[in-house]
Structure 1
Amino acid sequence: MATPNDGLWRQPQPEKDLSLDDITIVDKSLLKRAVGAMAIGNAMEWFDFGVYSYIAVTLGKVFFPSSNPGAQLIATFGTFAAAFLVRPLGGMVFGPMGDRIGRKRVLAMTMIMMAVGTFCIGLIPAYGSIGIFAPILLLVARLVQGFSTGGEYGGAATFIAEFATDKKRGFMGSFLEFGTLVGYVLGAGCVAVLTATMSEQSLLSWGWRIPFLIAGPLGLIGLYIRLKLEETPAFQREADKRESEAHSTPKDQFRDMLVKQWKPMLQCVGLVLIFNVTDYMALSYLPSYLSATLKFNETHGLFIVLVVMVLMMPMTLGAGHLSDKVGRKPVMLFGCVGLLLLSIPALTLIRMGTVLPVFSGMLILGVLLSCFTGAMPSALPALFPTKIRYGALAIGFNVSVSLFGGTTPLVTAWLVSSTGNLMMPAYYLMGASVIGIVSVLALHETARKPLKGSPPCVGSRSEAHAVMRGVRQAAEMDDRVPEATAHA
């Protein structure tokens, strides 16, 4: 990474006055470490959070005794949704804090809180032992998880976006969701192995605790990895700038987001809506829908989801790479239109209830979801300037997730239960896709461009010289236009 003595941390001037010293040159080894650390840390966070979804049917029996499996599932997903209600609070606390004290320190805090919350779930006695206090303690642990997650995605996406070069920000950002999928796969794999190798009685008695207790050592590993990182060049530049200016209070920072950035915030909410409704429908709700509603073999269902997520890993990286070539908008628009047209066929296949059609339907949703997991981590941070990027993204992201994403399993389970219409998941996805199409069309293309308020970011000095040649050629063209107009 270039040092301040190299002159590469200066506050950028207007583009027409851009000099070589204004361009940020990122050391490739440091970039790989940053991306790897965020992906690994994110995998550990989402292992913790995802395990709850995959063992939801068992948790319903442990914490919510009822003769109606549908009621158990709704109660379990109600607790799942409750964690999302505090996510905006976590975003409001951790996001602006990350803009003030640094991305790295806040991301270490979120890692600790998530690990503690998940580990504690594994220690809670069952309903049969302590009665109503069991679901209450489960709710408290879920709220701790939700609060910490409120600062995770916005910070991790910001961290990678600010380290990545302009040409490869989409590909580098896609590793964040690659890490999420790894976490989900580990969570689903762990639950699948338990359900396949243990009797139902053993699983209900103590086996369900194992994946939650694993969170303790995983959290320590993730914390160590994140503490070894450096701050992002964009944040360090912004911090240097603030030293010579009047300090803004958190209240001023929050007002600046709402007053000056309300349009990007709305765009963020719309984009996150389609992203997370699809995510939580496909990877959280449908596994339980298969076993509790369609009576599909629970172990077979988990392994199908596991295989689909493994296939999504290279598809996510491919979508991120493609977004650097053709743009973020075409990739995300393909996913939105695909959901509008293919949700009903996909769910029709899933409802057939045999392995191959179920796998085919889930794979269709996985391919379309990959369009979002590949492009969103680079598209969302580009909506906001550096000084409020973490805070604005964390708040906008988590408000949308809380209102629409995290409630998807609960609302869909309720719709299916109350109407008896097993196609409700498809209709829900189609409604979200319409909002997604509008949000994507309203977006400005950001592929291969510097982040707002930042100079160009490149991977070598030769790239920096190429940028300067492009700037000079553009300036010469601008100078010729008035001359040509005058001659005309």
Structure 2
Amino acid sequence: MPKEPNVLHRAIGASAIGNAVEWFDYGVYAYLTTHIAASLFPEGSNGVLYTLVGFAISFLIRPIGGLFWGPLGDKIGRKRVLAMTIILMASSTVFIGLIPSYETIGIWAPILLYASRIVQGFSAGGEYGGAATFMAEYAPDNKRGFYGSFLEVGTLTGFVLGNAIALFLVNVLDATALESWGWRLPFFVAAPLGLIGMYLRNRMEDTPIFRELEAKNATEGAVTVVFKDLIVKYSRCVLTLFGLVIALNVVNYTLLSYMPTYLQTTIDMDESDALLVPLFGQVAMLVTLPFFGMLSDRVGRRPMWLFSCAALVIAVIPMYLLIGTNLAGAIIGFAVLGMLYAPQLATISATFPAMFPTIVRFAGVAIGYNVATSLFGGTASAVNEALIGATGSNLVPAYYMLGACLIGIVSAYFLIETKGVSLRGTEVPGTPEAIEEQRQLAPSRL
């Protein structure tokens, strides 16, 4: 049964705003890294690297969040978990802006920074898997790619907002003001965003697919799934997701998060220009994401992933050489890589939840996504910075992205195509077993 447009639009907004809060935090943290380092770490230390370690810590803790929130979301519902995670994310982001400087409280400044990143990572461990599942289960089967792309519109909106605020502050405040109090201001924006998100999520019912499963469990008895079942029974789904997320997030964090730091510390670009470079590409990506999502509803998710990963393998080294030339070259190089990456980003919310059945969907996405992200995504900035220092090569980020995309090509080859496939039932969507089960479910309505 088609969803009412206003209900569907509220579901999109409720899902996307959490992603916006999460990525606003990551964007501001990444774009103001040098100022956070100067304020919260001792002078003369490698504060930039230590601040990037704080970025990585939030990702290393995400699998624990996924292990906690994922099974909970499959048990008590997507809506309740998402209401909790957005408040935790927003609160930890605001807290970063309140941490006194190293000069004021000494070693407690970096300790509190790392503690807030741990809370942020724990809550984010349930946020993306839950939001993607919520979005995918509300969207019509034949338009899941289009509607799912708006979750990533939320992602880039958060990034662009963080970028724009950071760029504004860099151009209106001097270095002393930025390091003492200016860098703190963007973190306070998370408070109203979090409150709006909680309000939207509390107004929504849980997804029709989850409610259908709840009703079935009430009459036939609940199907019990343990962590071992997720790893063993759905091992192909988990491994395929793992490989796709390596490609997705190495590119994401190397390109979107690390780029301003890379341009400043490695290319010696002015800070204002370094923040300007990703802004154009991100806006272009944001505008085109719904188009790529709609295209995936026609051609499928698998072709989009294969094209994106293969195109990045070919283009990444030439574009990084172009980025190292001048401001115009950097803008063009970033924009090209961003547009080649967009087919992946636009389709993840339609692709990942559809890889698992309803009974383990939240847990499967949350755990698989966050383990891969913690190991290869959130660490990307620190790994790139360390390897550039060790090798002296400005092309380290390009090599890192190239290797990740090769893994993505292999993983996309094993991806089960789920374009237009229903997500109802207890079998893996797109498989013969799921198709047969959905024939039996056909007379019922969501």
Give the corresponding residue for 1:280. Answer: 253
Structure 2 distance, partners of 1:218, 1:374, is 23
Give the corresponding residue for 1:17. Answer: none
Offset from partner CA, 1:445-476 (integer Å, 9 cap, x none): 11111126279x9xxxxxxxxx99xx9xxxxx
The answer to whether the 8 Å contact 1:383/1:452 transfers is: no
1:430 aligns with 2:407: no
Give the corresponding residue for 2:416. Answer: 444
Structure 1 distance, partners of 2:364, 2:194, is 26
Structure 2 distance, partners of 1:215, 1:291, is 26
Structure 1 distance, partners of 2:84, 2:135, is 18
Structure 2 distance, partners of 1:247, 1:257, is 16
Q: 1:325 to 1:235 in 2, by over 3 A?
A: same
Structure 2 distance, partners of 1:134, 1:416, is 27
Offset from partner CA, 1:132-184 (integer Å, 9 cap, x none): 11100000000000000000110010011101111100011000001100011
Higher mean C-alpha deviation, range 442-451 or range 141-150: 442-451
Unaligned residue ranges in structure 2 (runs of 5+): 430-437
| TM-score, length basis structure 2 | 0.94
The answer to whether the 8 Å contact 2:17/2:193 transfers is: no
Give the corresponding residue for 2:41. Answer: 64
Give percent identity, aligned residues only. Answer: 47
Structure 2 distance, partners of 1:107, 1:331, is 29
The answer to whether the 8 Å contact 2:359/2:426 transfers is: no
1:210-225 aligned within 5 A: 210-225=185-200
Give the corresponding residue for 1:30. Answer: 7
Instruction: Provide the secondary structure at the position in 2 that maps to 1:363.
Output: helix
Give the corresponding residue for 2:28. Answer: 51
Structure 1 distance, partners of 2:151, 2:308, is 19
Higher mean C-alpha deviation, range 266-275 or range 208-217: 208-217
Letter in 1 for 2:322: L
Structure 2 distance, partners of 1:232, 1:417, is 48
Runs of 4+ in 1 over 3 A off after TM superposition: 245-249
Letter in 2 for 1:188: N
Structure 1 distance, partners of 2:21, 2:393, is 36
Structure 2 distance, partners of 1:246, 1:57, is 55
Structure 1 distance, partners of 2:7, 2:130, is 18
Q: 1:235 to 1:367 in 2, by over 3 A?
A: same
State how many pairs are aligned.
Answer: 432
Offset from partner CA, 1:313-361 (integer Å, 9 cap, x none): 1221111111011111111111100111111011001111x22101011
Offset from partner CA, 1:382-441 (integer Å, 9 cap, x none): 100001100111000000000111111111111001111111111111100110000001
Letter in 1 for 2:330: V
Structure 2 distance, partners of 1:287, 1:316, is 22
Letter in 1 for 2:309: C
| TM-score, length basis structure 1 | 0.86
Larger radius of gyration: 1
Structure 1 distance, partners of 2:248, 2:423, is 22
1:130-279 aligned within 5 A: 130-247=105-222, 252-279=225-252
Structure 2 distance, partners of 1:278, 1:255, is 31
Offset from partner CA, 1:54-107 (integer Å, 9 cap, x none): 111111111223437xx3221111111011111001011111111111101100
Give the corresponding residue for 2:76. Answer: 101
Structure 2 distance, partners of 1:43, 1:451, is 25
Instruction: Provide the secondary structure at the position in 1 that maps to 2:99.
Output: coil
Structure 1 distance, partners of 2:236, 2:194, is 36
Give the corresponding residue for 1:480. Answer: none
**Deviation at 1:41?**
3.0
Unaligned residue ranges in structure 1 (runs of 5+): 1-23, 458-466, 472-488
Give the corresponding residue for 2:359. Answer: 387
The answer to whether the 8 Å contact 2:65/2:125 transfers is: yes
Structure 1 distance, partners of 2:210, 2:308, is 32
1:374 aligns with 2:349: no
Structure 2 distance, partners of 1:380, 1:60, is 35
Structure 1 distance, partners of 2:47, 2:181, is 19
Letter in 2 for 1:406: G
Letter in 1 for 2:369: F
Residue of 294, 299, 304 corresponding to 2:277: 304
The answer to whether the 8 Å contact 1:41/1:225 transfers is: no
Give the corresponding residue for 1:3. Answer: none
1:328 aligns with 2:301: yes
Give the corresponding residue for 1:402. Answer: 374
Instruction: Provide the secondary structure at the position in 2 that maps to 1:26.
Output: coil
The answer to whether the 8 Å contact 1:49/1:118 transfers is: no
The answer to whether the 8 Å contact 1:57/1:292 transfers is: no
Give the corresponding residue for 1:420. Answer: 392
Letter in 1 for 2:60: L
**Deviation at 1:48?**
2.3
The answer to whether the 8 Å contact 2:13/2:200 transfers is: no
1:365 aligns with 2:337: yes
Structure 2 distance, partners of 1:44, 1:401, is 18
Letter in 2 for 1:120: F
